[in-house]
Amino acid sequence: MTAADFQALLPFMCVAAAAVIVMLVISFYRNQTLSAILTLAGLLVALASLPIAWSHAPRAIPPLLRVDSFALVHLALLLVGTVAVTVFSQRYLEKYRMERGEFYILLLLSALGALILAAADHFVAFFLGLELLSVSLYVMVGYIFVKEKALEAAVKYLFLAGLTSALLLFGLALIYAALGSMEFSALAAAVAGAPDGLSPFLVAGMLLVFAGAAFKLSVVPFHLWTPDIYQGAPAPVTAFLATVSKGCVVAVLLRFFAPLDPASQTGLFSALAAVAGASMIVGNLLALLQDNLKRILAYSSIAHFGYILVAFLAGGENGPAAATFYLVTYFAATLIAFGVIGYLSPTDQEADTVADYRGLFWRRPGSAALLSIAIFSLLGLPLTAGFMGKFFLVAAGAAAGLWPLLIILTVSATLGIFYYLRIIIAMYSGEGRKSEGRTADAPFAPTSATVLVLLAVLLIVIGIAPEPLLAFIQAATTLAP
Amino acid sequence: MTPSATALLLLLLPLGGALLTALFLRRRGEAAAWLSVGVAGVLLLLGLGLIFSGERFDRSVEWLRFGEFSLSLGFLFDDLAALMLFVVVFVGFWIHLFSLGYMKGDPHKARFFGGLSLFMFAMIGMTLADDLIMLFIFWELVGLSSYLLINFYFHKPAAVAASKKAFIVNRIGDFGFLLGIIWAYWAFGSINLNEIAVIIGEKPETIATGIALLLFCGAVGKSGQIPLHVWLPDAMEGPTPVSALIHAATMVAAGIYLLCRVSVVMTTEAATVILWIGVATAVYAGFCAIAQRDIKKILAYSTISQLGFMVAAFGLGTRLALADGGSITLGMVTAGAAAAMFHLTTHAFFKALLFLGAGSIIHACHHEQDIFKMGGLARSTPLTFITFTIGVLALIGMPFLAGFFSKDAILYLAWQVSPVAFYLLVLGALLTAFYMSRLWAVAFFGAPRSDGAKHAHENGPVMVVPLIVLALFSIVAGYDALYPEAFAAVMAAIPHPSGADKTLIVGVSVAVLVVGVLSALLFYRPGAAEDALERKARPVHRFLAARLWFDDVYNWYVAKVQQRLALVLSYLELVFISGLLVRGLAGFSGLLGLGLRSLHTGNLNAYLYWILIGLVLLWGLTIGLASGS
């Protein structure tokens, strides 16, 4: 490995080093705040090293990784998401009397897995990243083991993720059997060399790999775990599950499927279109029936990744950019939502039913305003980032002529009003008496407040002037086929 | 200052006002109120300056570009926009002023005035928008601010329900609007009206018809046309100045403005549909108004009816313009659009006047809204009585007042295009005269019939001055000779009957007026304490009060169809979760047990099986479709 390779890998090494440092420090001095600060420092240094890595991009680190502008954009997004989760976790964990510092080791390792996925150029890296991400997540979901629901969620997640990992591995074996190689580029070559159709082995393998990824994205029919685990996991972990652990999978899928031409792969692409359509419909319809904020967000996230799959299917020049842009808007809004939920949760139970938020605006106007901005963005109201995200998805889909999917998108997104509006109405009705909802009274810590406000400002700014970010993402995410 | 900078300032001022209020003045109602009224005053001055400077422009900058799809932001300021802007800033200012008095002492005044400023921002943005997407964005913002203001008395469950209904019903219309925009992009590759106008001739007419009707869906929602009118009467739960500004004068008229803006995509078929929906709404809402007791609901149905007249006028005029191989070119104001905008303008004056008058009465009677519990107000609130009477006369088409001229223009169009539409609209006019005379006679005369009405007294000058100004405009706004040169393009296109037609139309309107007023006065007797129709013809009253069961059908649909669809889907999930497919019938008892427990205790085994089943399904789909193609 050359010095340039090292520099290109700096972000990964910073995160890995931070995990080791936190672990070493904990063995001498157990302090939650210190661990959190070290974690934050590691992540920020990793973020700061991105420009250095950028100067060497695109650079293949054979055979596993490929650090190019596409990967770096996603790296930045994942790192920012992890920073936000770290900040939220610090305050959340303080409420529990237990050893808390170790949480950050898991968080860092999980994040490292996500980063590897975003830069993966080889199926081994794909699998390695996914496992690193998942194994740490099992523990994080059940970290507050005094809560029964968290434990139940952790066990469920462990079993289901285990099954899908096995499927994924089997898919990799099939692909290896068909290609004799595990590099993404070999797949591209095989596709280019067989315009009439791929071997059934290869198609089956790709489908299994997609299933493994789809489980993480929680799209139909691999979505069943989502509401249970969203609800059971601690709010900051749910934030991580909903953003970082899904975003990195979108990145790897985009890269993995980039060489495929939709026209010659009708079977595979029709199956994916069915998944996208079903996710949008099921997610939005089932969210209607929920009374729990975390479950509403879980079902709506199923729908959101259905939307992203539309851009993914559109492919071409604009598909990856639209998907990445949508991820940015979804990250910001989702992080705010779960950050606020985590903040308002008292120790004994999460504040996650809609009734808990009744009259929130009159008790805690700041939290209510933040949550409103996030929800308006998720709903796709004009002048918020969410609207722009949907707009680009529709534009990319329209350019690729995916009209049936676009109609499903528009119709099902309209349903979103019904359940998102319930939350808004609950927050602004009521008189503001303490007894109305079960939320914590503690004021925001300055760090969390800063992160939340920055994210909210981002949503508004992107909603008004998306051009700079979009241009940047478009330039960076053009994937060479 | 360049004209486009003025336009930008017009847009940003109210936004700034709303933001300032939201950030700093939430608990300082008085300051928020003065800020908002001050902003409205500056808007009026700037707006008038822009309108009368004679500058007309179309300026846009590219907002963002995505692939070959680009979106621009810009202003299109022609005579049509100038007229709409005049209505918005002029009526808007007087209603702001009136609100100062009306909302006095309300603890949540800041929220009210912040909402009004937000509304002004959205409405001005919509007026000036130069392409469909920008129009749609502001269209949605107008809906949002309307939602916030209907919800102002949020401690009243009825207000919360009404705001929700308004938002949802409007979104249904907007959904059609959005599909229309998407289809336009699909068919024409552009959403810019100038470009569409060029391409549209090359496309089959059915496409244009489809797009025109989808865009019309937006207008149906916002302008309360059948079948999406149900939200507007309920929206009266908001404060009365809001009803006057948003739900009578400006926002609900936005649908008419939208139609005029997209005249170029209209076809004869689309115009026919638009025309009949407008006619049906005009007559239907007139019948509904007869059976209402709440003064604001009567006015709300009257608004729906008048909006029906405007929509019908647009449809009629478009048919006329397209007849005999005619075509509509960009920037052309058809007779229909001109008549609709003319009626929109006069209606904005007298309906805002009527609503403010109603607000003044309600305020004076200590929030009594039932006209049969009022009475004697002619004596106790004389100024309100006089101005309200002028509003009534203008609305029912009293010769030489504003409504007379604008209604005659519409009737004349109908006479030229379709005799059936003409007779139905005449019936609508007759109903208008009837229900307004009923309202007027019952509320203002006789002895006071409730404590509130007994202690009624005239309001202060802040509330009375706007009434007088609007009354003045309700008198003079019908004379198009008085309109300045600035609106020439619209004014010149208004159809005026002449010769024998003129005699006929004027004769019919006067006859209808006399018959309507006299029959109402004879039937209800001034100062009646109870509804004569309810007493003498109960089945008829009950039928009219049921308003053709629109609300009942919608409630039934939401409760029985939509919710059930979601439930069925959730049940299907449950079936799979409980493993019915995997474990056979043995699972069925488990399913029942699971149904009783809460949903979230999902069965892990079943989740695992379901993942495998899903995979097999996907595999089947992939192989099946690959071999099929």
Domain ranges of chain B: 3-548, 549-590
For the cut 80, the answer to whether the pLDDT of residue B195 exceeds it is: no
3-state secondary structure of B624: helix
Q: Would you place residue B367 in the very low, low, confident or very high pLDDT band (cuts 50, 70, 90)?
A: confident
pLDDT of residue A263: 66
Give the orientation angle of helix A319-344 with respect to helix A293-314, to 10 degrees.
170
**Residue B528: partners with Cβ closer than 8 Å, 6 or more residues away:** B372, B441, B442, B446
The residue-averaged pLDDT of A183-192 equals: 82
pLDDT of residue B67: 64
Q: How far apart are CA B304 and CA B371, in angstroms?
A: 20
For B291-300, the pLDDT digits (tens) are: 888 899 999 9
pLDDT of residue B562: 66
| Burial class for B58, CB neighbours closer than 10 Å (0-12, 13-18, 19+) | middle
Distance from CA of B137 to the nearest CA of A (A): 6
Give the orientation angle of helix A403-428 with respect to helix A385-399, to 10 degrees.
170
Beta carbons within 10 angstroms of residue A353's beta carbon: 18
DSSP codes joined into one string, B474-517: HHHTT-GGGS-GGGHHHHHH-----HHHHHHHHHHHHHHHHHHH
Answer whether A399 sits within 8 Å of B68, measured CB to CB.
yes
pLDDT of residue B580: 43
Q: Would you place residue B501 in the very low, low, confident or very high pLDDT band (cuts 50, 70, 90)?
A: confident
pLDDT of residue A383: 79
Q: What is the predicted ipTM? A: 0.79
The residue-averaged pLDDT of A46-50 equals: 94
| Residue length of chain A | 481
Total H helices, total E strands in chain A? 22, 2
Q: Would you place residue B306 in the very low, low, confident or very high pLDDT band (cuts 50, 70, 90)?
A: very high
Distance, CA of A326 to chain centre: 11
Task: With CA atoms as reference, report the closest residue to B505 among B440, B386, B409, B617.
Answer: B409
Q: How far apart are CA B221 and CA B165, in angstroms?
A: 11
Task: With CA atoms as reference, report the closest residue to B425 among B413, B436, B434.
Answer: B413
pLDDT of residue A435: 62
Task: Tell me the β-bridge partners of A61.
Answer: A65
CA distances from B388 to A211, A441, B238 (A): 69, 52, 21
Q: Would you place residue A251 in the very low, low, confident or very high pLDDT band (cuts 50, 70, 90)?
A: very high
Average pLDDT score over chain B: 83
Answer whether A208 sits within 8 Å of B615, measured CB to CB.
yes
For A68-95, the pLDDT digits (tens) are: 899 999 999 999 999 999 999 988 888 8
For the cut 80, the answer to whether the pLDDT of residue A104 exceeds it is: yes
Task: Tell me the β-bridge partners of B401.
Answer: none
For the cut 60, the answer to whether the pLDDT of residue B598 exceeds it is: no
Nearest CA in chain A to B163: A425
Q: How far apart are CA B546 and CA A142, in angstroms?
A: 57
Q: How far apart are CA B37 and CA B39, in angstroms?
A: 5
pLDDT of residue B586: 40
- Helical ranges in A142-224 per DSSP H: 148-179, 184-193, 200-217
Answer whether B622 sits within 8 Å of A207, measured CB to CB.
yes
The residue-averaged pLDDT of A328-348 equals: 91
Interface test with B, best of A152, A157, A222, A224 (most B CBs within 10 A): A224
Answer whether B141 sits within 8 Å of A382, measured CB to CB.
yes
Task: With CA atoms as reference, report the closest residue to A398 among A467, A469, A311, A328.
Answer: A311
Are B233 and B351 spatial neighbours (Cβ–Cβ below 8 Å)?
Answer: no
For the cut 70, the answer to whether the pLDDT of residue A165 exceeds it is: yes
For the cut 70, the answer to whether the pLDDT of residue B180 exceeds it is: yes
For B231-287, the pLDDT digits (tens) are: 888 888 888 888 888 888 888 999 999 998 888 888 888 999 999 999 999 999 999
**Residue A294: partners with Cβ closer than 8 Å, 6 or more residues away:** A227, A230, A231, A235, A238, A341, A350, A352
The residue-averaged pLDDT of A348-369 equals: 82
Strand-strand pairing, A65-67 and A59-61? antiparallel
Q: How far apart are CA A429 and CA A363, in angstroms?
A: 11
Place of tokens 């659009």: B337
Average pLDDT score over chain A: 87
Tokens of B336: 């229909």
Phi, psi at residue B174, to the nearest 5°? -65, -30
Tokens of B116: 């009004």
Of B585 and B375, which is predicted with more confidence? B375
Tokens of B139: 């269209």
Q: How far apart are CA B578 and CA B587, in angstroms?
A: 7
The residue-averaged pLDDT of B394-413 equals: 89
Answer whether A470 sits within 8 Å of B621, measured CB to CB.
no
Answer whether A425 sits within 8 Å of B613, measured CB to CB.
no
pLDDT of residue B572: 63
Q: Would you place residue B424 in the very low, low, confident or very high pLDDT band (cuts 50, 70, 90)?
A: very high
Give the orientation angle of helix A467-476 with respect to helix A69-94, to 10 degrees.
120
CA dihedral B285, B286, B290, B291 (to 10 degrees): -20
Q: Would you place residue A248 in the very low, low, confident or very high pLDDT band (cuts 50, 70, 90)?
A: very high
For B77-121, the pLDDT digits (tens) are: 888 888 999 999 999 999 999 898 888 888 888 888 988 999 999
Residue B134, amino acid: M
pLDDT of residue A275: 92
3-state secondary structure of B367: coil
pLDDT of residue B535: 78
pTM of the model: 0.74
For the cut 80, the answer to whether the pLDDT of residue A26 exceeds it is: yes
Of A264 and A392, which is predicted with more confidence? A392
Q: Which residues on chain A are in Cβ contact (under 8 Å) with B171?
A: 414, 417
Q: What angle do CA A195, A196, A197 make, to 5 degrees?
A: 95
Rg (CA), chain B: 27
Interface test with A, best of B64, B138, B148 (most A CBs within 10 A): B64
Give the orientation angle of helix B419-444 with respect to helix B268-290, to 10 degrees.
30
Task: With CA atoms as reference, report the closest residue to B88 among B21, B43, B151.
Answer: B43
Distance from CA of A338 to the nearest CA of B (A): 19
Are A222 and A215 spatial neighbours (Cβ–Cβ below 8 Å)?
Answer: yes
**Residue B215: partners with Cβ closer than 8 Å, 6 or more residues away:** B176, B177, B180, B181, B258, B259, B262, B265
For the cut 50, the answer to whether the pLDDT of residue A226 exceeds it is: yes
For the cut 80, the answer to whether the pLDDT of residue B576 exceeds it is: no
